[in-house]
């Protein structure tokens, strides 16, 4: 049974990688923890998601495009926190280097600029994670205060071709635990800038 909504809004940004079909695990955990959840999908993630199950079981819809100007209406409330999971090589690189070519990237980029707590939980293989553009992207995001859960004691990249064998171990709970507690303010509990 879900706990009552505490009024805190979590935006879950889903990228097109192996764990994406299982994002309901994260949504369910967040709702039990008292978060209201909004889901935003990158274009590549849309095909991974079972939108009917997300709506029926968790009461959420996955949005992947900007709202058309003609539709009018109030803008969505800014989230109190953002989790990007699974976060792909492409999305991490684009986000760090300022590429804002999808609704999902726009949501995360604005959250970083607002100093909203952002947690990135990658799903990349070791060959991609070894590339200099990727390591620089991770450093850049951490320097802006983003928590990138990558490295010893967090999520370790898997060997190329072995991603399917890592799905059960994907640490959804770790992303939630990296968020600020309900007692403190989001900005006050923001992690210090720079890599740890």
Task: Answer whether 0.95 is exceeded by the pTM.
Answer: no
Mean pLDDT of the residues in the chain? 87
d(CA 147, CA 168): 22
Q: How confident is the model over 40-48, as a mean pLDDT?
A: 94
pLDDT tens-place string over residues 132-185: 999 999 999 999 999 999 999 899 999 999 989 889 999 999 999 999 875 543
pLDDT tens-place string over residues 62-86: 887 876 554 555 567 889 999 999 9
């Amino acid at each position: 049974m879900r706990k009552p909504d505490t009024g805190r809004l979590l935006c879950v940004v889903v990228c097109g990688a192996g764990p994406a079909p299982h994002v309901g695990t994260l949504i369910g955990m967040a709702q039990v923890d008292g978060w209201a959840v909004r889901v935003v999908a990158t274009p590549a993630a849309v095909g991974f998601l079972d939108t009917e199950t997300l709506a029926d079981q968790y009461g959420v819809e996955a949005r992947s495009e900007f709202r058309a100007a003609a539709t009018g209406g109030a803008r969505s409330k800014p989230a109190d926190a953002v989790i990007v999971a699974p976060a792909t090589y492409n999305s991490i690189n684009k986000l760090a280097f300022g590429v804002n070519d999808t609704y999902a990237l726009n949501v995360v980029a604005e959250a970083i600029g607002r100093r909203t707590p952002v947690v990135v939980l990658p799903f990349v293989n070791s060959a991609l994670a070894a590339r200099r553009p990727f390591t620089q992207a991770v450093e850049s995001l951490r320097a802006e205060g983003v928590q990138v859960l990558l490295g010893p004691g967090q999520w370790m990249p898997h060997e190329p071709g072995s991603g399917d064998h890592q799905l059960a171990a994907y640490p959804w709970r770790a992303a939630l635990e990296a968020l600020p507690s309900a007692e403190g303010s989001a900005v006050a509990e923001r992690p210090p800038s720079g890599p740890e």
